[in-house]
């Protein structure tokens, strides 16, 4: 096994060679946030001249981007501090501003053109949502829902309070209240002391619960985006000679971190690599990948001051590595690498195999992936009866026959009454 000094030296060499090929994002006031969940029909216009393209998980979202969902589509965008914006079906939003002030304050301005959006803002940065002719400007935490149609616009506040300004003047909408604006008379509004439940309120609440559960007790990253997925789909280990390293579940022999993803072209940035894996954000934007003998590919956290368009790794001759080669200059088309970079729902029965690295497993669909990982490590695969995202409609049960994971930094399992998937291996059912 390499000693700690050699590991650090390799990291430094790889870091230097990678930074030479990257845009100077760290020295600019540009910001990039994460498309963190894609379900059904979702499209993105990156302002590249190609118009709307099919969107995929972990696509960077830059200033000027437009994002829209189809009639069966849903999407989520994560900001640096872990705040989230979720889009219901038939929704269009524009990211007008993703900037950084001279004082280092992050500012985000989003325009809800049509449809419905959920905002769970944690209050660490400034956020503005424009909808209809109203503007909601936040400098503190709030959780709310806004929807816009040709005739009416509504804003319902679940938590905190939301200040509004528009043709009718200034208004503060408090918790558990809803304000309605009529397009024919937007100088007036109607304020109700209740919130009428919408069909996707439960999806929004389960999403927040997932992030709260898996992103808490964060000692590994100064950023919140991607953290919950990192803790759900993998675990940390203290590796002698390397320190604290993270590894996804279900890796296996022959797997490397660059097998599945896509290259997307962005104005001002060029091509950026996006991982297809549901946890594939932080390990591809910061830190360094290393092949550790006896463990396989692992990610070393760090380098938090430099956002990377192309992931960094320490070269190795021990195993084959899929080359990280961006498409030729002059092209702006999206290029898929390996399996398609989409996050599709699992079928009712699904085989989780070594080397899948969590690809295709929906967030929260199993109570604790660490249990399933142990079984796959022993047998090479496991057949599972899957539950939906967050297991909102799964039966109230737990799989048995699995031992607890042995990582001291593994996130605790979600304890929803109905969060479970069932697994079997080698044709033998486990109940």
Domain ranges, ordered by start, for the chain: 1-30+200-431, 31-199
- Cβ proximity of 140 and 117 under 8 Å: no
Q: What is the mean pLDDT of residues 276-284?
A: 97
Neighbours of 115 (CB within 10 A): 19
Which of 40-49, 214-223, 341-350 has the lowest average pLDDT?
Answer: 341-350
Q: What is the DSSP string of 340-363?
A: -S--PPP-SEEEEETT-TTTTPPT
**Residue-by-residue DSSP string for 362-421:** PTTSSS-HHHHHHHHHHHSEEEEE---GGGTTS-S----S-PPP--TTPPPPP--TT---
Unique residue bearing structure tokens 């393209």: 53
The answer to whether 358 touches 281, Cβ cutoff 8 Å, is no
Q: Give pLDDT tens digits for 180-204.
A: 999 888 778 999 999 999 999 999 9
Residue 360 region, left (φ>0) first, then alpha (ψ -120 to 50), else beta?
Answer: left
Q: What does the radius of gyration of the chain's CA atoms come to, in whole angstroms?
A: 22
Share of the chain above pLDDT 70, in %: 81
Using the predicted structure, report yes or no on whether residue 283 has a pLDDT greater than 60.
yes
Mean pLDDT of the region 10-19: 38
- At residue 57, the 3 state secondary structure works out as coil
pTM of the complete model: 0.84
Which of these CATH numbers, 3.20.20.70, 3.40.50.1460, 2.60.40.10, 2.60.120.1440, describes 31-199? 2.60.120.1440
Tens-digit pLDDT profile for residues 71-99 = 999 999 999 999 999 999 999 999 999 99
**Is the pLDDT score of 347 beyond 70?**
no
């Amino acid at each position: 096994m390499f000693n700690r000094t050699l590991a650090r030296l390799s990291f430094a060499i790889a870091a230097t060679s990678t930074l030479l090929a990257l845009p100077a994002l760290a020295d600019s006031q540009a910001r990039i946030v994460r498309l963190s969940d894609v379900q059904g029909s979702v499209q993105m216009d990156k302002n590249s001249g190609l118009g709307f393209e099919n969107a995929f998980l972990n696509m960077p979202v830059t200033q000027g981007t437009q994002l829209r969902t189809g009639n069966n589509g849903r999407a989520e965008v994560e900001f640096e501090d872990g705040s989230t914006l979720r889009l219901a079906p038939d929704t269009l939003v524009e990211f007008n501003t993703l900037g950084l002030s001279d004082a280092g304050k992050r500012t985000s301005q989003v325009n809800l053109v049509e449809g419905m959006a959920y905002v769970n803002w944690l209050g660490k940065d400034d956020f503005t949502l424009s909808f209809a002719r109203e503007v909601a400007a936040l400098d503190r935490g709030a959780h709310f829902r806004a929807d816009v149609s040709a005739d009416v616009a509504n804003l319902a506040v679940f938590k905190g309070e939301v200040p509004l300004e528009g043709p009718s003047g200034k208004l503060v909408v408090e918790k558990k209240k809803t304000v309605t604006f009529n397009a024919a008379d937007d100088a007036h509004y109607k304020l109700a002391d209740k919130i009428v439940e919408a069909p996707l309120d439960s999806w929004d609440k389960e999403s927040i619960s997932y992030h709260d559960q898996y992103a808490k007790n964060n000692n590994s990253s100064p950023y919140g985006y991607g953290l919950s997925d990192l803790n759900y789909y993998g675990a940390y280990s203290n590796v002698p000679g390397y320190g604290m390293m993270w590894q996804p579940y279900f890796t296996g022999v022959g797997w490397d971190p660059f097998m599945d993803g896509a290259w997307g072209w962005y104005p001002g940035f060029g091509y950026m690599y996006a991982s297809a894996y549901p946890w594939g954000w932080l390990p591809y934007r910061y830190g360094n990948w290393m092949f550790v003998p006896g463990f396989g590919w692992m990610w070393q956290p760090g380098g938090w001051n430099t956002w990377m368009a192309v992931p960094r790794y320490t070269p190795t001759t021990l195993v084959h590595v899929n080359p990280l080669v961006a498409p030729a200059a002059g092209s702006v088309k999206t290029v898929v690498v390996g399996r398609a970079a989409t996050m599709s729902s699992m079928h009712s029965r699904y085989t989780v195999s070594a080397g899948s690295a969590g690809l295709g497993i929906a967030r929260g669909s199993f109570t604790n992936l660490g249990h399933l990982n142990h079984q796959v490590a022993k047998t090479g695969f496991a057949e599972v009866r899957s539950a939906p995202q967050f297991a909102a409609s799964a039966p109230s049960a737990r799989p048995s026959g699995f031992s607890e994971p042995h990582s001291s930094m593994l996130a605790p399992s979600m304890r929803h009454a109905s969060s479970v998937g069932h697994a079997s291996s080698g044709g033998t059912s486990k109940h």
